[in-house]
Amino acid sequence: MKAVAKLHPTEAGIDVVDVVTPGIEAPTDVLVQVVISGISGSEVNIWKGTYRRPNGQPVEPGRILGYDPYTGSAPPGVELVGNLDDILVSSDIVTLHLPVTAETRGMIGAAQLSRMRSHAILVNTSRGALVRTEDLVRSLRDGAIAGAALDVLEREALDAPALAGLPNVILTPHMAYYSESSLRESQRKAASQIIKVLRGEPPDYPVN
């Protein structure tokens, strides 16, 4: 029997890097198109900038609220609020755009879902572990919220059956990031990190 020696990449002098934020705009495009067309029944073409209701009337943009405890500024057109509860009680569509940390894991559970409007829709194109699946399923079945559009799940394959059978849920297979521009961006970033390491320069997104 042969012995196999395992060597950590750092010990072997191998740089490990990550390609972060590929196509940051793509998930937002997907969530807008999925929510407005799939759940509300409106006709949407995000790339042409057209938004129409089933009766043909245009969909007028509403207020855009944002909450981020780590920044005091927001992009143009976004109104910052003081806490997450302000978002939940005031929004018709609640979208999540943040990483999973010890602070954010399970941040949307029964208590938070109960604060949302009964006609509200939850959208998650970020990380599945932000939402407690069992609480979401219960809220959707009980009509506590109107629907959910999910590109990510708390336990990807295991949670899908419980959600797929609900008529007020739209699931996509963890692909909201994908677009032609995001593919080019991820390829460019990967190549740029290889070039930096070969030149002896520190990579932008080191893992080790």
Active-site residues, by number, are 127, 156, 174
Q: In whole angstroms, how far apart are CA 7 and each of 4, 11, 126, 208?
A: 10, 7, 33, 13
Q: Tell me the C-alpha distance between 165 and 183, whole Å.
A: 32
Q: In whole angstroms, how far apart are CA 128 and each of 66, 72, 156?
A: 20, 26, 8
Contacts with 27 (C-beta within 8 Å, 6 or more apart), sequence order: 97, 125, 126, 151, 176, 177
Neighbours of 87 (CB within 10 A): 18
CB crowding 114-146: b at 16 or more within 10 Å, else e: ebbbeebbbbbbbbbbbbbbebbbebbeeebbb
Q: Tell me the C-alpha distance between 147 and 115, whole Å.
A: 14
- Check the CA dihedral 24-27-31-37 and report its sign: positive
